[in-house]
Amino acid sequence: MKRILISSAWLNPQRSYDVATWKKRSNPFTVNAPITEHFGLRFLKANHPEITILEYPTGDQFINEASKGWDAIGISFYINETNDAVQMAEIARKYGVPEIWAGNYGAMTPAIQNRFDKVFIGWGELPLAEELGKSPAELIHPPMFMRIFFHGLQVQTWGVLFTSRGCNKSCTFCQTPRFYRKPYTLDLSTIDAVLKQYRAAGVSQIIILDENFGYFEDYTREIIELLDRYRLKWNPMTRVETLYKNYDLWKMYGMRGASIGLESLNQDSLDSARKGNDLTQSREILRWMKRDHLFIQTFYIIGFEQDSESSIRENIEELRHYHIDSPQIQILTPEPGTKLFTHIEQTYGMTTYDYSLYDTTHLVWNHPSIQARQMQKLQLWANDRLFTPMNSIRTSLKIVSQSFYAFDKGLKSVVSTPLWTGNINSFQVPHRELIKYGSRRGDHARLDLSDNAS
C-alpha cells in the first residue's frame, strides 16, 4: 500500500489565519477564531486512517516530512497559496517523491496543473480510495472544532458540521459549482454519530458549513430535529432566500445565527453575477436577525463592474445599521475557470496572473472606474465602518450569553484538542519560523505562473 502524506499549504506570515479578524483592525473587544484544523484533510484522515496529514505546517516542518520516503505527497491549497504549493512540490521532487498531487480550489487553475502529477477536484475520499486500492466505504464525518478566544481565554468551542456537499447554483464569480458538482446529502447515520460525539464532548454550538444548507428540505428537517434532540444550538451557512423561507422554523429548532452570501446591496451587481438574491428579502432577514440578537456573518463583495466608489460607500453605510457581527468584505476577484474570469479577461483585462494576489484583498483586473489602490482603501474603510468596538461588544455579549446557556445546561464550553498529525495553533507559531512569502530564502519573490509570463 502506498505511503501517502497530504499537507495543506505551509504557513505564510502574509496570510491571516483568524476567521474572526481577517483583514480587520483589532480593537479591545475583538474575539478571535484562529484556524487550527483543516476540515478537508480531517475528512481524508477519518476515512483513510492509513494516510498521514499535515495541517498548516511551517516550512521546516514540511521539509522535514518531505524527506521521509513517501510514495506520494498531496498538497491541498487555495489559489492565493499557489506559489507556496508549487515550491512545496519542487521540494518534494528534490527528495525523490515519485508522485506529487494537487487538490482543493487552487488545483483548478489550468496554468499550474502541469506542475503536479495528478490533480484532484472536489472532495477526495473516493479518488484517494482508488489510489490506496480500496473499495469505497460509507463516509465517516470526523469531529472538528472551531474555538473562540477573548484576550487569549477560550470562551466557546463550536463543533463543525457538513450535512451535504455540492452546489446547484451558477453564480458567475464562484468556482464552487464546478468544484463540488451536483449536490448530495450525507447519510443521516454519519451525522447522528458525530452529533453524539459533540454532545459527549460537551459542545453546545454547531456551525454548519454546507454550501447551501436547506436545499434538501425534507432532509434538512431531519437534521434540525437531530440537533434539537441533542440540545445543540447551531449556525448554518445558507442562502438568503432559503433563510427567509425557513427563518421562524429554524429559530424554533435552535438556530442562533447564520452566515449568508449577501454579496452586494446593489441589485444590478447581483443580477449580473446571477446571484439570485432579492434585496427586499436580504434587508428583511438582516432586520430580523438584528431584532432577535442572532449572530450575523455576511460575505460581501465590493468592486463589481457596476460599482463606483460612491455606490460602495452608500451600500456599506446601509449595511452598518444591521450590526453585522462578522463582516467579510472581499474585493471582486475573478478566479480561473469561472464565467466571471472569462468575461473580465476579455472585456477589461487582468493586471496580473500572480495568483498569490488572488486573495480578495487585491484588485487584479482593470476596473472601469476604481483604481487598485483606491479599492484596497475602500476595503479597509468598509471594515472600519462595520467592525467597530461597539459592534465587537455586541458580538462578545452574544457569545457570553450562549456560553451561559451551555453552562446552565451542564455543557462544557471548552474541549481538548484532538491529536492529529501536524495540528498546531497558528497564533503561537513565531513569525521567524514561518516560511517567507514566495521564497524559502526570504527574498519575497513572487511567481507569475501565467502562460503570458516572461
For residue 111, give the CATH number of its domain.
3.40.50
Mean pLDDT computed over 20-36? 80
Domain shared by 312 and 194, yes or no = yes
Domain shared by 103 and 163, yes or no = no
Least confidently predicted of 144-148, 176-180, 356-360, 436-440 = 436-440
Closest listed residue to residue 364, CA positions, set 380, 348, 378, 377: 348
Backbone phi and psi for residue 331, each to the nearest 5 degrees, phi listed first: -80, 135
The residue segments making up the domain with residue 46 are 4-138+424-433
Reply yes or no on whether the pLDDT at 88 is more than 50.
yes
Q: Could you report the per-residue pLDDT of 418-433, keeping only the tens digit for each? A: 222 233 333 344 434 4
Closest listed residue to residue 330, CA positions, set 448, 160, 174: 174
Residue-level pLDDT at 443: 33
Residue-level pLDDT at 448: 44
Is 428 domain-assigned? yes
Q: Is 76 left (phi over 0), alpha (psi -120 to 50) or beta?
A: beta
Burial 55-64 (b: 16+ CB within 10 A, else e): bbbbbebbbe
The rounded distance, in Å, linking the Cα atoms of 229 and 224 is 8
Domain shared by 338 and 229, yes or no = yes
CA 42 to chain CA centroid, Å, is 15
Is 450 domain-assigned? no
Residue-level pLDDT at 276: 59
Residue 47, C-alpha cell as written in the block: 476515512
Residue 137: exposed, middle, or buried by beta-carbon count in 10 A (0-12, 13-18, 19+)? exposed
Strand partners, 238: 260
The rounded distance, in Å, linking the Cα atoms of 235 and 251 is 10
Domain shared by 331 and 190, yes or no = yes
The rounded distance, in Å, linking the Cα atoms of 69 and 95 is 8
Domain shared by 170 and 94, yes or no = no
Is 107 domain-assigned? yes
What's the structural domain count of the chain?
A: 2
Domain shared by 271 and 404, yes or no = yes
Domain shared by 161 and 125, yes or no = no
Is 288 domain-assigned? yes
Domain shared by 212 and 102, yes or no = no
Domain shared by 87 and 169, yes or no = no
Q: Could you report the per-residue pLDDT of 176-214, keeping only the tens digit for each? A: 667 766 788 999 999 999 999 999 999 989 999 988 899
Residue-level pLDDT at 451: 41
The rounded distance, in Å, linking the Cα atoms of 304 and 1 is 49
Q: Hey, which of 133-137, 288-292, 405-409 has the most confident mean pLDDT?
A: 288-292
Domain shared by 115 and 227, yes or no = no
Q: Could you report the per-residue pLDDT of 254-302, keeping only the tens digit for each? A: 999 999 988 777 777 766 656 657 888 999 999 999 999 999 999 899 9
pTM of the model: 0.86
Q: In which band, very low, low, confident or very high, does the pLDDT at 375 lie, cut at 50, 70 and 90?
A: very high
Domain shared by 154 and 131, yes or no = no
Domain shared by 70 and 170, yes or no = no
Per DSSP, the three-state class of 295 is strand
Is 205 domain-assigned? yes
Higher pLDDT, 369 or 414: 369
